[in-house]
Amino acid sequence: MSSEMLPAFVETSNVERKQDLSEDQESQKPRLSKDFEPISKRQRKKLIKQKQWEEQRELRKQKRKEKRKRKQLERQCQMESNSDGNDRKRIRRDVVHSTLRLIIDCSFDSLMVLKDIKKLHKQIQRCYAENRRAPHPVQFYLTSHGGQLKKNMDENDKGWVNWKDIHIKPEHYSAFIKKEDLIYLTSDSPNVLKELDESKAYVIGGLVDHNHHKGLTYKQASDHGIDHAQLPLGNFVKMNSRKVLAINHVFEIILEYLETRDWQEAFFTILPQRKGAIPTDKACETSSHDKKSARVEGELDSDSSEEENSRNKLDSPPEEKQDKENSTDSTVNSIPH
């Protein structure tokens, strides 16, 4: 082989070796199957959140322990601060039970998802607790009890079977209470309550629906020929949000009214701050003050605009006079001599 052909042969062999190496590397790379789908951004975020949740499990457990210890210490301090430790028993002995019947109608079970069922359960727990410590507790009824609600209570609150001063019934309220004694409380009713009649049975719709079934309780009361009414909220309170209240808020307002016999005091004691509630008389004063201030501002704006116009007139050159002089000059010039 000649010396001229040797470099060409070496060069071709190097190229072949490089091709073989690249083929080997490609064969060693993991090949994606046809069925493989890339993870979306939302799925990736979900996986990251799940990982963070798992990592913080111990931290959450520790926080729960600390919270329990803190509450235990608070209870101990409260018990020590009481002179005889029998304040709670003394309050319970002073209780005067009301004959008013207050019913939570749980017949809307099929219209709610589990998340809303859990919220309903918590609101019922709150109603039960408030009625137990109220100075004038009502005759508390839970009707049409079953379905998802009962299952959730069995799983998460087994002690409900031992609740006292409450009538929990699987039947509908119409099965054991006369129609003429019933008044359904619904914010869609045109009738406004003035006072509570303690011989009546007031029904609260046990529905947590985030306004998905608007007017349903009113329609049901009308269809069954049951009297209906709404709390006199608009007569005493001006709110930023809608007038629909949570079940436990309606329940607690009625308990507060039975104690104070004052609707305004009952509303402002119970309504949460997030509702932005203010008395209607103050709301009227505020609106009239806003109107007056707006009127004054309008008058000031008109005065300032008039002053500006007059100033512009003074500052502007007397164009009309100049035009007249120019016209007379032109007339004089145009007269033939």
What is the C-alpha to C-alpha distance for residues 231 and 234, in angstroms, rounded to an integer?
8
List, as one string, the DSSP characters of 2-20.
-TTHHHHHHHHHHHHHHHH
Does the pLDDT at position 165 exceed 80? yes
| pLDDT (0 to 100) of residue 301 | 54
User: pLDDT over 70 for what percent of the chain?
Assistant: 66
| Whether 279 contacts 237, CB under 8 Å | yes
| pLDDT (0 to 100) of residue 31 | 52
Does the pLDDT at position 322 exceed 50? no
What is the C-alpha to C-alpha distance for residues 299 and 305, in angstroms, rounded to an integer?
10
Domains parsed from the chain with CATH numbers: 101-281 (3.40.1280.30)
| pLDDT (0 to 100) of residue 35 | 54
Answer with the residue of higher pLDDT: 60 or 19: 60
- pLDDT category at 12 given cuts 50, 70, 90 is low
- pLDDT category at 311 given cuts 50, 70, 90 is low
Least Cα distance to 131 among 261, 264, 295, 248 occurs for: 248
Q: How many CB atoms lie within 10 A of CB 92?
A: 13
Among 157, 181, 188, 209, the one annotated catalytic: 209
* Residue 209 a catalytic site member: yes
- pLDDT category at 284 given cuts 50, 70, 90 is low
| Whether 130 contacts 248, CB under 8 Å | yes
Give the model confidence (pLDDT) of 128-157 as tens digits.
999 999 999 999 999 999 999 999 999 999
Phi, psi (degrees; rounded to nearest 5) at 142? -120, 110
| pLDDT (0 to 100) of residue 336 | 40
| Angle of the 247-260 helix axis to the 114-133 helix axis, nearest 10 | 10
| pLDDT (0 to 100) of residue 314 | 44
- Among the ranges 18-22, 123-127, 239-243, 298-302, which has the highest mean pLDDT value? 123-127
Determine if the pTM surpasses 0.85. no
Comparing 56-65, 108-117, 167-176, the range with the smallest average pLDDT is 56-65
- pLDDT category at 278 given cuts 50, 70, 90 is confident
Q: What is the mean pLDDT of residues 218-237?
A: 92
Answer with the residue of higher pLDDT: 243 or 261: 261
Answer with the residue of higher pLDDT: 170 or 84: 170
Q: How many CB atoms lie within 10 A of CB 322?
A: 10
| pLDDT (0 to 100) of residue 175 | 95
| pLDDT (0 to 100) of residue 188 | 92
Does the pLDDT at position 308 exceed 60? no
Beta-sheet strand order (sheet of 182-185): 166-168, 139-143, 101-105, 201-205, 182-185, 227-229
pLDDT, mean over the chain: 78
| pLDDT (0 to 100) of residue 62 | 84
| Whether 270 contacts 256, CB under 8 Å | yes
| Whether 303 contacts 263, CB under 8 Å | no
Q: What is the mean pLDDT of residues 273-302?
A: 57
Q: How many CB atoms lie within 10 A of CB 288?
A: 10
| pLDDT (0 to 100) of residue 212 | 78
